Structure 1
Amino acid sequence: MTALRKNPVALTPDAAPFAIRAERASDVVAREALLDACFGANRHARTCQRLRDGRAPAEGLALSAVAWGRLVGTVRLWHVGAGGKPALMLGPLAVDSSCRKLGVGAALMDHALEVARQRGHGAVILLGDAPYYSRFGFSPLKTGELSLPGPFERDRLLGLELRDNALDDAWGMIVPTGAVELETKANKAPRARKTVRLVSSAA
């Protein structure tokens, strides 16, 4: 098992002007605007979106970073089967460019992984840049025999074991296994458009 970073999972108000909390229904419009700006208008056509369509995020693992009264970061994790092994798929992770020097992305990652570990999850998988995510313990060592339901770059499929041997012998297609999302009025809210530049992201 790869050890998680020993960084604090939540920064104090004196350390940085942002806080991490559970995602709320009132975050939907701002979250969608942030994701549109970070990933573009075609983000719903991306391969990893096939694992999220119509599904609810894993319980307790939809997180928002807020600062100055607005949403500045978001991350969600989703239940998947990784070649028959239960796991979580992380993404999307996105951060407002105004917070690039505050460590919002790293804090969201640390917090999400700690919550996942505390909730007893065994492994997390994501599609992202290895140089960025290796600092959190992610690597391609146990994802080489796994596939996604669409085109993807093999060297960007990374895994992290939260429990020893959780991804041993994992092979085959990664498939969604999470609960079906109940559509609410908040989920149907129109997306607000605003200019936000990408800082760090997982598809």
Structure 2
Amino acid sequence: MSRLDTWRTRAERPEDIGPIHAVNAAAFPTELEADLVDALRGDPTAWINGLSIVTLDSGGAIVGYALLTRCTVGGQPALALGPCAVTPEAQRTGAGSAAIRAGLEQARRQGENLVVVLGHAEYYPRFGFEPASRLGVTAPFEAPDQNFLALALNPDNATPRGEIAYAEAFGV
């Protein structure tokens, strides 16, 4: 069942904080990612208004989530994608893809360009991500090339090169 065209997305609102925590807690084995979102929300150097995206089901409940936060690459501004989460019952329906696409489009509209993600090699290329090494981006930890990915939102513009520095909440 594909509901890719029927999902509604929007930026996080204050009343969404609890439901976003619940979606992340339900999607992962522990609350680590849910707590990470809360920590990032409290970091004014990482949090960017409008880049915390929720996916709503037909009843208006939050079932998907994608977050883009500030990081740097080679000392220049960039974005880190993640956590991304979908409630178990809405997985594999396009809810996560809808949130990610909406977040990437909003980042593009806000003038951002480089986005980096550490994630599944089979999932993120559908959004245009490629091995970060191709864009000259390195990680401060060991990461397989097929899992440490980057995307230039506007390929005509130069992107920063060098090592990524994540927000403090990531702990790396």
The alignment's TM-score, normalised by the length of structure 2, stands at 0.77
- Give the 3 Å change call, closer, same or farther, for CA 102–39 of structure 1 in structure 2: closer
Which amino acid in structure 2 is aligned with residue 52 of structure 1? L
Cα deviation code 1:27-61 (max 9, x no counterpart): 111211221222232625x9x88x93842422211
In structure 2, the partner of 1:197 is none
Q: Report matched runs for 1:42-57 at 5 Å.
A: 43=32, 52=40, 54-56=42-44, 57=47
Higher-Rg structure is 1
- Give the 3 Å change call, closer, same or farther, for CA 32–152 of structure 1 in structure 2: farther
Q: 1:126–1:159: 8 Å Cα contact kept in structure 2? A: yes
- Give the 3 Å change call, closer, same or farther, for CA 174–87 of structure 1 in structure 2: same
In structure 2, the partner of 1:126 is 117
Measure, in 2, the Cα distance between the counterparts of 1:59 and 1:127. Answer: 22
Which amino acid in structure 2 is aligned with residue 63 of structure 1? I
- Structure 2 gaps of 5+ residues are none
Cα deviation code 1:162-196 (max 9, x no counterpart): 1335335x11242339xxxxxxxxxxxxxxxxxxx
Of structures 1 and 2, the one scoring higher in RCO (CA 8 A, sep 6+) is: 1
In structure 2, the partner of 1:26 is 15
Measure, in 2, the Cα distance between the counterparts of 1:119 and 1:105. Answer: 21
Q: 2:80–2:166: 8 Å Cα contact kept in structure 1? A: no
- The structure carrying a bigger helix percent of its residues is 2
Measure, in 2, the Cα distance between the counterparts of 1:115 and 1:145. Answer: 22
- Give the 3 Å change call, closer, same or farther, for CA 165–154 of structure 1 in structure 2: farther
Which amino acid in structure 2 is aligned with residue 139 of structure 1? E
Residue 100 (structure 2) pairs with residue 109 (structure 1): yes
Residue 153 (structure 2) pairs with residue 162 (structure 1): yes
What is the Cα deviation at residue 161 of structure 1?
0.6
**SS in structure 1 at match of 2:43:** coil
Measure, in 2, the Cα distance between the counterparts of 1:161 and 1:174. Answer: 17
Measure, in 1, the Cα distance between the counterparts of 2:124 and 2:86. Answer: 15
In structure 2, the partner of 1:58 is 48
Q: 1:142–1:167: 8 Å Cα contact kept in structure 2? A: no
Identity across aligned pairs (percent)? 34
What is the Cα deviation at residue 154 of structure 1?
3.0
- Structure 1 gaps of 5+ residues are 1-10, 178-203
- Give the 3 Å change call, closer, same or farther, for CA 135–172 of structure 1 in structure 2: same
